[in-house]
A and B are shown apart, each in its own frame.
Chain A
Amino acid sequence: MAHAHESNVKRIWMVFGLLSVVTIIEVYLGIVKPEILHLTSILGTSPLNWIFIILTLFKAYYITWTFMHMEGEKKWFRRAAVWTAVFLVCYLVTLFLIEGGYLHSTLAPLVKW
């Protein structure tokens, strides 16, 4: 690595604490499922799901930046990896979820319960 080899031990433990707290919050919400978050809907899904997704991206950011040491890489190397993946994943997920919704709207009326 290009930069000085100062010890990151303190920062590593801090990030571990952060990831643990976020995981505990996720599990707590997953078990309790507060009705106001779970049974309402915003932007296509429940606020609870949005909270889970945001917290997951938050965790992913810290794992990549601190543990995988992206923060120490050159700017355009970082972008070559992160932008590629983020762009393609967004594209794939958008198309797949739209298509899934379409399948439901066409097939669900044919299912007899």
Chain B
Amino acid sequence: MEANIAIPSDGKNTWDGGGVRPFGASYGKMMMWFFIVSDALTFSGFLAAYGLTRFKFIDSWPIADEVFTHVPFIHGIYPMYYVAFMTFILIFSSVTMVMAVDAGHKMQKSKVAWYMFATIIGGLIFVGSQAWEWNTFINGSYGAVKTTNGKVLQFVKDGKQIALSDFVVGSRMDERVTHTKKNGLWFVSGDEVPKYSLAQITASYKADPSVQIRIEKIDMDKKKKYILSREKGLAELANGQRVVEGANLSANEYGNTIFANFFFFITGFHGFHVFSGIVLNIIIFFNVVLGTYEKKGHYEMVEKVGLYWHFVDLVWVFVFTFFYLV
């Protein structure tokens, strides 16, 4: 009966629902759960749209472990290792968070503070790693040629992808330089001119018989991209329109333009969640240190923010699977 009666909300207790606890959960915790459900649906929307696009381009989608192959400070090809490390960091920070909640139930103030601190550090390492990942993705490591019909041509030697700088020699042959503000109108600057010109790349391709071209099309029996013969490669290269290095929203060296767009939007949206989680954690950390919850008599706020933090981890588990593994 009581549940059907409107409770005056002009009292002091507006923010905790006036002490009503449906299902034995406090107002704040319940609303955090419902926020998480709606946020989960937002992420599902992103990932489902990714799935749709991937099915649409099922025979030409970039292969994740050929794209994400770098580890900071170490040269060479190490697919997946760094993302796996990031996953560990996030799971571990989830563990320290749940430890903080656990210590909160026992009213151990300093333990809560230390575990919160560890969680914040974990979050910062994750966001830092993601910044590094973005930086690597945007700068690119190989370079490619985009054709007039929007296809991306990559260069391989003995079946392994090579960078433009590994085989391109000679001069640009077109005298193009990046237009800078100091050379003209002060408010106008041109697009950056890539290091190598199309003509130069074509000439170098012709000169080096060991270089071959790999196209986006996937051989569905082997799940590898097709590598063209030297003659076919030259014919494709003749359709070249521009040189692409790294990635932005209009072109990238990995393949489909929308692949990079999804990368930016999904990992960016998740990274933004991690960032706001860190901010919340920092606020709660200071409240813990100042003894706010000690005075209140309970550490439920740590639990509520903890829910958000675990949710961020939960989302990453899915992003990791659908962006990097599947």
Contacts and interface: CB of A to CB of B under 8 A. Distances in A.
Nearest to B56: A103
Interface string A79-95: 01100110011001100
A1 interface: yes
A20 B53 CA distance: 31
Contact of A63 (B25, B106, B317): B317
Interface of A: 1-2, 5, 7-9, 12-13, 16, 19-20, 23-24, 26-27, 29-31, 38-39, 45, 49, 52-53, 55-56, 59-60, 63-64, 66-69, 73-74, 76-77, 80-81, 84-85, 88-89, 92-93, 96-97, 99-101, 103-104, 107-108, 111-113
Interface residues of B, number: 65
Interface string B286-326: 00000000000000000100110011011001101100111
Given A81-B34, A92-B48, A73 B25 contact: yes
B208 interface: no
A31 B79 contact: yes
Contacts of B222: 39
Interface in B233-264: none
A104 B218 CA distance: 14
B87 interface: yes
B318 A60 contact: yes
A84 B94 contact: no
B99 A9 contact: yes
Interface of B: 22-25, 30, 33-34, 36-37, 40-41, 44-45, 47-49, 51-60, 65, 79-81, 84, 87-88, 91-92, 94-95, 97-99, 101-102, 105-106, 149, 215, 217, 221-223, 226, 303, 306-307, 310-311, 313-314, 317-318, 320-321, 324-326
Given A9-B99, A85-B41, A96 B106 contact: no
Nearest to B54: A100
A49 B326 contact: yes
Nearest to B236: A113
A76 B94 contact: no
A113 B217 contact: yes
B24 A85 contact: no
B203 to A, nearest CB: 25
Contacts of A1: 105
B33 A81 contact: yes
17 contacts: A5-B105, A19-B91, A26-B320, A27-B81, A31-B65, A45-B326, A56-B321, A67-B95, A74-B23, A81-B33, A84-B37, A89-B40, A96-B51, A97-B55, A100-B52, A100-B58, A104-B59
